[in-house]
Amino acid sequence: MVTDLAEPIESMEQLAVVWRAMVLDRDAGADVRDLPGIAVRWADCRFAFWNCVTLTDVGADAELLERRLRQAADIMRAKRHPGFLWLFEDLLDDGARSALGAAAGRAGLEYAFPGTGMAGDLLPVPEPVHPDLTFVRVTTDEQLRAYADLNSRAYGFPLEDGRDGLGGSRLWKEEVYAYLGMRNDVPVTCAGTVEADGRLFVVLVATDPEWQRRGYGEAVTRKALYEGARSTGLTRATLHATAAGAPVYPRIGFRPNSPVHFYGLKG
């Protein structure tokens, strides 16, 4: 187990802060609760990323982990739409980490995919240039739909799921520094940053699967960071990377802190 928990705690707290804003923007009546050891951020919409619970205990042992996983699974079962438990591995003690897989199974949870918490004092970054792309800030419903559709394609969701999560959002058009990367006037990549407790948080980076591995995701992420830092003056940024994005972000200046495990309910 890591000895310095400051960054894993920061990573978990950034999720709780940003997702509070995101799900309340989606639905003012969303389930946003801070329970003992569990943060609930659940819009109960079709976009699964907006349906989130995370464990918030620091140094949880195996017994406490078992209890929290059962509580989290019970919360998830009470919802209409599926979502994810986000679990920050480095907040567990060694015994809990060893017991995690079996404990999750007993709670009725199954592993979905891996992630990595990252952070860095890296701002400002230079304004990016990519020979294939022009960058457009999302300010209209049409642009926001394109942003949602890129995420749905990249993460394998039906298009309507992403649209249900982002469609009509005031927050995304006014407060998130959300950018589309356009190739010949066609949106092929996107990234956003949003101010969160003195940091810029990178959110919903995606590239159309037909246009991946061309540096588009890195370029549009740099654009969102550049514009967010220019507007806010912030110098620190955080994010949660998927396996596809994890190799990209260190090139910008992010450093990994805690592995993140995503769990869903067993089918």
Residue 3: per-residue pLDDT: 53
Q: CATH classification of 134-235 is 3.40.630.30, yes or no?
A: yes
**C-alpha angle with apex 152: 151 to 154, nearest 5 degrees?**
65
What is the spatial distance between Cα 82 and Cα 233, in angstroms, rounded to a whole number?
A: 37
Task: Assign 3-class secondary structure to 140-178.
Answer: CHHHHHHHHHHHHHHHCCCHHHHHHHHCCCHHHHHCCEE
What's the whole-model pTM score?
0.95
Answer whether 104's CB lies under 8 Å from 69's CB: yes
- 18 token code pair: 């940003």
Q: Spell out the long-range contacts of 17-21 with Cβ–Cβ below 8 A and sequence spacing 24 or more.
A: 17/196, 17/197, 17/201, 18/194, 18/196, 18/201, 18/203, 19/50, 19/52, 21/171, 21/194, 21/196
Whole-angstrom distance between the N-terminal and C-terminal Cα of the chain? 31
Residue 90 tokens read as 């480095």
Is 262 within 8 Å of 85 (Cβ atoms)? yes
Identify whether the C-beta of residue 238 lies closer than 8 Å to the C-beta of residue 201: yes
Domain ranges of the chain: 6-117+260-265, 134-235
Q: Beginning with the edge strand found earlier in the chain, give each strand of the sheet holding 51-55 in spatial order.
A: 31-35, 38-42, 51-55, 84-88, 255-265, 109-120, 237-242, 199-207, 186-196, 177-183, 134-137
Number of H helices, E strands in the chain: 7, 11
21-to-14, 50, 142, 191, 215 alpha-carbon distances in Å: 11, 10, 22, 17, 30
Tens place of pLDDT for every residue, the chain, 267 residues?
Answer: 445 899 999 999 999 999 999 999 999 999 999 999 999 999 999 999 999 999 999 999 999 999 999 999 999 999 999 999 999 999 999 999 999 999 999 999 999 999 999 999 999 999 999 999 999 999 999 999 999 999 999 999 999 999 999 999 999 999 999 999 999 999 999 999 999 999 999 999 999 999 999 999 999 999 999 999 999 999 999 999 999 889 999 999 999 999 999 999 998
Is 172 in contact with 144 (CB distance < 8 Å)?
yes
Burial class (CB in 10 A: 0-12, 13-18, 19+), 115: buried
Positive/negative CA dihedral, 81, 82, 88, 93 = positive
Distance of CA 88 to the CA centre of its chain: 13
Pairing mode, strands 199-207 and 237-242: parallel
